[in-house]
Structure 1
Amino acid sequence: MVAPGTSGRAATIYDVAQHAGVSHQTVSRFLKGFPGIRPETRARVETALAELDYQPNLTARSLKSGRAHRIGALVHDESETGPSLTAHGATMEAREAGYLLDLIPLDAHDGDSIQRSLALIGPYSLAGILALASTDEMLHAFDAASFTMPAYIHSEADDTRLAKTDVSRVGMPALMAHLRDLGHRRVAHIAGPSNWSAGRNRARAFASAVDDLGLIHTGQYTGDWSARSGFDAIAGLPELPDATAYVVANDQMAIGAILALKRRGLRVPEDVSVVGIDDLPESAYIDPPLTTLRVDHVARGREAVASLIGQIEGVPPRSVPIEVPHLVVRESSGPAPREDVR
């Protein structure tokens, strides 16, 4: 007998059910994203799907339902870890719900690039379109487009006063309070690009926390989320700001900033502290290991797809648990120096 999941034949939901010790109805409900499945049952089904390499028969499902089961996902720069983790979560959520996610890389800063990508996917039979980059250019393109299918853009809420995202509401205050408790009073910010809602939100949250905690804002510099831009933001300054700590809008820019500060003769954290946001896998292994906020990018990708599938199927979206951003203290933050370091 040939085992399912090998080259002999593809695994079915009945094989998955037997492997997991559940009914095939439970597997079907899991694949469709229904809530109410017990966590231990969900874990067994997930393990069985992975071990049997289950692949849904999208062609058969589409013929039976008369509806496509492919989602086009517009993604920006998969080389950056945060967007890559979000796309990974989106792909898993789509697969488990019986959809295939087609990743379409583009420059989310370039309106023409976005329009070309939308025109390219327009003729294809898709269940929906998902955007995983919340730039102003992407938002404008979605607003102007006339979609013939459900569309969803994964975006932070953008409030000109202060966005009530978890990073702004919970994470940034915790990060800033950590620095305050270490004795830091003069802090600088390396912000993300201003055409990203996340860049604006994090910059506003930083400024708000400075005011709330009675700190001194010594300057704001801008990067493009990459490590190179974090390096350039520091290396290109004729004179460093009068700051004892840098709060950086993401870990990759923080990694670049640490190297630039070292090249300018400063020790981290003895002379100046550096903290980031995201808790990327490599952040624990740089020198020094980076203090940061842990952000659940994978769950955010899952949530985006669940929201889109809810639109596609006309049902309430599956509730995706998302870990609230929380502080991870490592060695890049330390007590403020007794004397000013410039």
Structure 2
Amino acid sequence: MKPPTIYDVAREAGVSHQTVTRYLQGYEGIRASTRQRVEAALERLQYRPNLAARQLRLRKSNRIAVLADRIGQGGPALIVRGVTEMVQKRGFVSDIIAVDGEGPESVDAAIDLATEHQVAGILATAQTDVVLERLQRRILEVPMIIDAQIVDPVSGVLIGQLVGRRAAEHLLELGHRRIGYVSGPEGWFAARDRAAGFFAAVEDAGGEVVWIREGDWSADSGYRAWQALADQERAVTAVAAANDAMAIGVMAAALDDGRAIPEQLSVIGIDDLEEGRFMRPALTTVQLDFEGEGAHLAAQLIDRISAAGSEREASPVSSADEEQYSPNLIVRSSTARVA
């Protein structure tokens, strides 16, 4: 028979699982009547917190929980790779917990799973408002760093906006003024920030974003975005996509439509997907160092853990040793000057 979980206790006591978690963590702001119901449920179900929970408060664990939102997408997956490599480099072990990001319940379940085990800290990636808001509302006993909208340390501007602006500036420098844009899903920070930076740069230069189509980060959605355009909308001289996969889809659809790339249509993406350089023509893109971002954040978290736990000696590698990450334009053959 499986041992009872905090969810079983919550149902027995008629409270939320967050309340049970707070009780087990020693949170004092629980009403006496609620506390009594939780205690009675714990006794009836014979629930016993494991030893790891007690060790957690002593900061003796070398495990870090990585709450990975939308890990199936390219950028988030590379961030997690950077995190796990840095964690291992600094002598820690990472436990990766997937978060689907569709609702707050998935975030709560991931945090609960992490805190029920012996972890020294949590690094959470957040791609949407739903995930970020839920993470920020949780009260934890261990350090947590949230990877959401990263600000460039030099300019103070969101990295996503810088990326979008750099893509627009490249097309504008080539003389393009009538441009189409394929965005990512509206709920994603990356989609909103990249679009904001792109549109602002085009507007500042007196250009026009003739049409906008929303994709889902897949090549198929980029292909369908071009297919769905009216004839007059296809008269643009360039198309930018919020990631490389959608840009590759746009290229394929435009070629099927008889448009020569880059002679009749320039296409640019974002992220520097490995497949992009093997396209013909090879895809121009704005490169982001996702792995460097993950490594930098992991180093920050481990430094916090080291500072918080007097029993742990400081690691010889500090976060200051890691390079900052910034967007980098990679010009290939999918973009050209307007004839």
TM beyond 0.5:
yes
Runs of at least 5 residues in structure 2 that lack an aligned partner in the other structure: 1-51, 309-317
Which of 319, 322, 325 is residue 324 of structure 2 equivalent to? 322
The question of 1:231 aligning with 2:223 is answered yes
1:1-342 equivalence runs, <5 A = 67-157=60-150, 164-169=157-162, 171-239=163-231, 240-314=233-307, 317-337=319-339
Counterpart residue type for residue 103 of structure 2: D
1:169-190: CA deviations, max 9, x gaps? 4x44443232123221101211
Cα distance in 2 for partners of 1:236, 1:108 equals 29
TM-score normalised to structure 1 length: 0.72
Q: Which secondary structure state, in structure 2, belongs to the residue aligned with residue 314 of structure 1?
A: helix
Q: Which amino acid aligns with 2:337?
A: P
Match of 1:45 in 2: none
Secondary structure of the residue that 2:112 maps to in structure 1? helix
User: Partners in 2 of 1:223 and 1:282 — Cα distance?
Assistant: 19
* Shift >6 Å, 4+ stretches: none
CA contact (8 A) 1:310 1:317 kept: yes
Count of residues in correspondence between the two structures: 273
Q: Work out the CA distance in 1 between the residues paired with 2:178 and 2:270.
A: 19
Q: Which moved more, 1:175-184 or 1:203-212?
A: 175-184
1:61-101 CA-to-partner distances (Å, cap 9, x unmatched) read x99x8511111112234443222221111111101111111
Distance 1:225 1:258, change over 3 A: same
Provide the C-alpha distance between the structure 2 equivalents of 1:320 and 1:301, rounded to a whole number of angstroms: 11
With the length of structure 2 as denominator, give the TM-score of the two structures: 0.73
Counterpart-to-counterpart distance in 1, 2:188 and 2:338: 31
The alpha-carbon deviation at position 148 of structure 1 amounts to: 2.3
Q: Structure 1: any 5+ residue segments left out of the alignment?
A: 1-58, 338-342
Q: 1:109 to 1:287 in 2, by over 3 A?
A: farther
Instruction: Provide the rounded CA distance (Å) in 2 between the counterparts of 1:282 and 1:198.
Output: 21
Residues of 2 paired with 1:229 and 1:112: CA distance? 28
SS of the residue 2:68 aligns to: strand
Q: Which has the larger radius of gyration?
A: 2
- SS of structure 2 residue aligned to 1:207: helix
Change (3 A) 1:174 1:122: closer
The structural deviation recorded for 1:163 is 7.6
Identity of aligned residues (%): 33
RMSD, aligned α-carbons: 2.7
Q: Give the Cα separation in 2 of the matches to 1:234 and 1:295.
A: 25
Question: Relative to 1, partners in 2 of residues 1:167 and 1:200: Cα closer, same or farther, differing over 3 Å?
Answer: closer
Distance, in Å, in 2 between the alignment partners of 1:322 and 1:114 is: 28
Letter in 2 for 1:290: L
